A and B are shown apart, each in its own frame.
Chain A
């Protein structure tokens, strides 16, 4: 007791200043980092004249909902944004479901079934992790055009049906899964597919959730690939709509931010409800298990 109070008295004066400095530093940077986000949300509710006013009025006087109307309506009144949002949802959802299923499928095969060449196959799949998308996008583009898939869902979806990182993740996760449970199910007469579906999948929820978030986000964010293969307005995805909207002449700034808010909403809702998975997803590659 005495010892601890002695220690406190000794370190308090100097560390109080440090303490206050750290608080100011953290709060200051939090403010700077959050400011552009606050700007996006507030500007989406202001007429353009207010968005570019000096100094910026951080609180909208009245909620100017017309921006959202114009964002959806488009500068030409075609309402194509709704279609583009649907495209993004279709592509991101399909890719997420198939990536999770195929990665779990393959990860399970690699983790629990000893067979000749398993190591080599695992190694091969790992090497594809080293091939950056940017290096193969031109040949991919040629493949997709040779299938006549440009400007189609197939073209947007098929090249991303699974990915090596997902396989890696699922294998690492499943390798520690107890063999006894699988064997018990086999003895009970369960087929291999039903073991996968009824036992492996439900028990991999943490890994599946993380992989699903990462995949959905990367597709929601994908600009380069749709930019290559989509020509028609109907097949554009959200990032392409943003590019088009922001580079048109009569764009007003408030509506531009409304477009951005709509595009970000699903990710923000996911972030606030599943923040645990978001944060753990970021730390995945620094996890120590090899």
Chain B
């Protein structure tokens, strides 16, 4: 290569590198200020006893906030509420969305209609969803009417928003209702990517629909199942709106005092910034684990159809 041409080639490379930096830098600056700095700051603040309105300088307390939290019944109650909510929501979400998807896929007609019908609650904002259910779960509301009709127990109030078990169940119900269609669509996408001739071959061999689902579809959508499980779990760990609206409307807080709600109240109502930060870091740790899991799963997601 002649020297001149080589130099101009290198010039283009340099130019490209400069333009690359120009295109990348606005976002990079943004993420530094609004993502990296805050997470570092959250960790730093969690080592201090810091009051939102106090003028006194924050006092360094080391890991005391963490040891305090680990011995605090309110914190453990939050962990429990979050755990109950997450497990209670994500298991039915995964199971039902898979069944819905398999059934919808087995139909030749109205596929689009069912997809849209099941998905439609996901379009609502979560506060609207909670507001609708607040009225449905009212003592005079539809939920009591429906349950009493099914169980033939006229006039009974099932206290959807009052007792520990029921208020937990109610938040799970709202969340399940809102998100089941969303995950159904994801399963449908997963199932649609299975080559058609697999099913046809099995059918010619005389397999029943159930056998086809159990021996062909189910193993092949395993990656989707795993991914949906983790995504649903991360989603559940972040729940806030439903619990907040229910508490604002008079439901007892402690059974549904999920960790996000606790962080909010600790920081804004009790002004304990350090302690709220420590809780944030713990939540971050838990979610980081699941996100890491998700990345590992999605990397090994490639299904071989050989």
Beyond A131-B39, A159-B34, A223-B126, whether A52 also contacts B138 by CB under 8 A is yes
- Asked if A128 and B31 make an inter-chain contact with CB atoms under 8 angstroms apart, the answer reads yes
Contact residues of A between 239 and 283, Cβ < 8 Å to B? 239, 242-243, 246-247, 253, 256-257, 259-260, 263-264, 267-268, 270-271, 275, 278-279, 282-283
Beyond A33-B177, A135-B283, A139-B41, whether A285 also contacts B124 by CB under 8 A is no
> Which residues of chain A are near B141, meaning CB under 8 Å?
52
- Asked if B249 and A247 make an inter-chain contact with CB atoms under 8 angstroms apart, the answer reads yes
> Which residues of chain B are near A34, meaning CB under 8 Å?
117, 120
Q: Which of B138, B241, B280 contacts A134 (CB 8 A)?
A: B280
Contact residues of A between 54 and 110, Cβ < 8 Å to B? 54-56, 102-103, 105-106, 108-110
- Asked if B119 and A246 make an inter-chain contact with CB atoms under 8 angstroms apart, the answer reads no
Tell me the complex Cα distance, A30–B111, Å: 12
In the complex, B190 has a CB within 8 A of chain A: yes
Q: Which of B19, B38, B245 contacts A192 (CB 8 A)?
A: B19
B189–chain A nearest beta-carbon distance, Å: 4
Beyond A54-B140, A130-B291, A239-B127, whether A224 also contacts B189 by CB under 8 A is no
Contact residues of B between 15 and 37, Cβ < 8 Å to A? 16-24, 26-28, 30-31, 33-37
Q: Interface residue tally of chain A, by bracket?
A: 35 or more
- The main secondary structure of chain A at its interface with chain B is helix
Q: Which residue of B lies closest to A280 (CB)?
A: B189
Q: How many A-B residue pairs have CB under 8 A?
A: 274
Tell me the complex Cα distance, A264–B240, Å: 19
Beyond A238-B125, A267-B125, whether A134 also contacts B24 by CB under 8 A is no
In the complex, A137 has a CB within 8 A of chain B: yes
Tell me the complex Cα distance, A39–B248, Å: 22
Tell me the complex Cα distance, A242–B301, Å: 41
Q: Which of A33, A110, A115, A124 contacts B31 (CB 8 A)?
A: A124
- Asked if A56 and B142 make an inter-chain contact with CB atoms under 8 angstroms apart, the answer reads yes
- Asked if A271 and B123 make an inter-chain contact with CB atoms under 8 angstroms apart, the answer reads yes
Beyond A139-B42, A223-B244, whether A264 also contacts B125 by CB under 8 A is yes
Beyond A224-B260, A242-B127, whether A52 also contacts B140 by CB under 8 A is yes
> Which residues of chain A are near B136, meaning CB under 8 Å?
36, 39
- A-facing mask of B36-57, CB < 8 A → 1, else 0? 1111011001000000000000
In the complex, B268 has a CB within 8 A of chain A: yes
In the complex, B182 has a CB within 8 A of chain A: yes
- B-facing mask of A193-207, CB < 8 A → 1, else 0? 000100000000000
Q: Which of A52, A113, A158 contacts B19 (CB 8 A)?
A: A113
Q: Which of B39, B107, B267, B268 contacts A135 (CB 8 A)?
A: B39
Number of B residues, CB within 8 Å of A: 100
Q: Which residue of A lies closest to B189 (CB)?
A: A283
- Asked if A18 and B131 make an inter-chain contact with CB atoms under 8 angstroms apart, the answer reads no
Q: Which of A11, A108, A243, A290 contacts B245 (CB 8 A)?
A: A243
- A-facing mask of B92-126, CB < 8 A → 1, else 0? 00000000100110110000001111111111111
- Asked if A138 and B116 make an inter-chain contact with CB atoms under 8 angstroms apart, the answer reads no
- Asked if B28 and A121 make an inter-chain contact with CB atoms under 8 angstroms apart, the answer reads yes
- Asked if A288 and B132 make an inter-chain contact with CB atoms under 8 angstroms apart, the answer reads no
> Which residues of chain B are near A36, meaning CB under 8 Å?
121, 132-133, 136, 177
Tell me the complex Cα distance, A58–B217, Å: 40
> Which residues of chain B are near A106, meaning CB under 8 Å?
23-24, 26-28
> Which residues of chain B are near A134, meaning CB under 8 Å?
238, 240, 260, 263, 280, 283
Tell me the complex Cα distance, A109–B20, Å: 5
- Asked if B127 and A131 make an inter-chain contact with CB atoms under 8 angstroms apart, the answer reads no
Residues of A with Cβ closer than 8 Å to B?
11, 14-15, 18, 22-23, 25-26, 29-30, 33-37, 39-40, 43, 51-52, 54-56, 102-103, 105-106, 108-110, 113-116, 118, 121, 124-125, 128-143, 158-159, 161-162, 164, 167, 192, 196, 217, 220-221, 223-224, 227-228, 238-239, 242-243, 246-247, 253, 256-257, 259-260, 263-264, 267-268, 270-271, 275, 278-279, 282-283, 285-286, 288, 290
Known: A134-B260, A227-B264. 11 other contacts (CB 8 A): A26-B103, A36-B132, A37-B121, A43-B135, A113-B17, A121-B24, A132-B238, A135-B42, A139-B42, A196-B23, A243-B245
* A to B CB contacts below 8 Å, 29 in the list: A11-B208, A22-B106, A25-B103, A34-B120, A37-B124, A40-B128, A52-B140, A105-B26, A110-B20, A115-B18, A128-B35, A131-B38, A134-B238, A135-B42, A135-B280, A137-B263, A138-B277, A143-B41, A162-B26, A162-B31, A196-B23, A223-B244, A238-B125, A242-B245, A263-B125, A267-B125, A271-B120, A285-B298, A286-B186
